[in-house]
């Protein structure tokens, strides 16, 4: 019986050609994984090259008690340092793939053919594709067997241009997630105010706007999985 979910993460530890740290946003992993594991699902971790997963130090500076507890969990941190590479993953083993954010995701998640193939397989075999924050950028270049972009014509959210500007990063990042989603024909939605939780669900595509949305993305995914017939590998 399939009870496994895949968490996709960036392997980029710094902005190219800048002395600025990147990596995953820890809370976007922790709050998602905590909820799905409580619901009885197993989690595996994957990154475009496999192996070491860097943490954005700002995500530690802004961390709450839960994030710090997981950061001090040696078993969890060991798994982050040993993430799977796409060629090590059998997509048929997973009910869903979730793309965590952190600005490093802007550089390597959209350009990973291996991750794209895994997400396409899962989605086209009745599984779910989920993402949050900058992790939504990982969905930009996924094409289905029809040749259409997975996100084309679908309601979606992700890190907004307003939030990027408020962080002072809108002139630094390689592209603006909101702008690129619209350019791919997605129906972009966002909360009325920055930083609050906002989730968009369009069939088997579930996305969250920002770090505050990670837990709600997990809850939406769990409810959707529990509402459908059990899939058997």
pLDDT for 230: 56
pLDDT category of residue 232 using cuts at 50, 70 and 90: very low
> What percentage of the chain carries pLDDT values higher than 90?
95
What domain count does the chain have? 1
> What percentage of the chain carries pLDDT values higher than 70?
97
Calculate mean pLDDT across residues 82-106.
Answer: 97
pLDDT surpasses 90 at 157: yes
Exposed e or buried b per residue across 180-192, where buried means at least 16 C-beta atoms within 10 angstroms of its C-beta: bbeebebebbbbe
CATH of the domain at 185: 3.40.50.880
Strand intervals (E) in 87-216: 94-99, 128-132, 155-156, 187-188, 199-202, 205-208
Does residue 233 lie within any of the structural domains?
no
Q: How far apart are alpha carbons 29 and 217 in whole angstroms?
A: 11
pLDDT surpasses 80 at 81: yes
The boundaries of the domain holding residue 106 are 4-227
pLDDT for 61: 94
Does residue 169 lie within any of the structural domains?
yes
Does residue 213 lie within any of the structural domains?
yes
Does residue 13 lie within any of the structural domains?
yes
pLDDT surpasses 90 at 233: no
Instruction: Yes or no: say if 187 and 156 are a contact pair by the CB < 8 Å rule.
Output: yes
- For the entire predicted model, the pTM comes to 0.96
pLDDT surpasses 80 at 73: yes
């Amino acid at each position: 019986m399939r009870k496994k979910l895949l968490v996709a993460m960036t392997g980029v530890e710094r902005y190219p050609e800048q002395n600025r740290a990147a990596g995953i946003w820890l809370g976007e992993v922790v709050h998602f994984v905590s909820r799905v594991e409580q619901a009885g699902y197993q989690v595996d971790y994957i990154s475009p090259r496999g192996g070491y997963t860097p943490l954005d130090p700002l995500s530690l500076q802004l961390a709450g008690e839960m994030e710090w507890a997981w950061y001090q969990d040696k078993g969890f941190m060991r798994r982050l340092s040993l993430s799977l590479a796409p060629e090590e993953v059998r997509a048929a083993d997973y009910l869903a793939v979730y793309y965590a954010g952190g600005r490093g995701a802007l550089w390597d998640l959209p350009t990973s053919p291996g991750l794209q193939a895994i997400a396409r397989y899962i989605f086209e075999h009745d599984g779910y594709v989920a993402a949050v924050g900058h992790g939504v950028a990982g969905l930009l270049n996924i094409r289905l067997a029809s040749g259409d972009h997975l996100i084309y014509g679908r309601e979606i959210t992700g890190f907004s241009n307003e939030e990027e500007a408020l962080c002072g990063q809108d002139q630094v990042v390689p592209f603006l997630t909101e702008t690129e989603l619209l350019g791919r024909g997605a129906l972009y939605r966002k909360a009325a105010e920055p930083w609050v939780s906002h989730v968009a669900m369009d069939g088997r595509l579930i996305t969250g706007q920002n770090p505050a949305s990670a837990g709600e993305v997990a809850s939406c995914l769990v409810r959707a999985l529990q509402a459908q017939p059990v899939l058997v590998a």
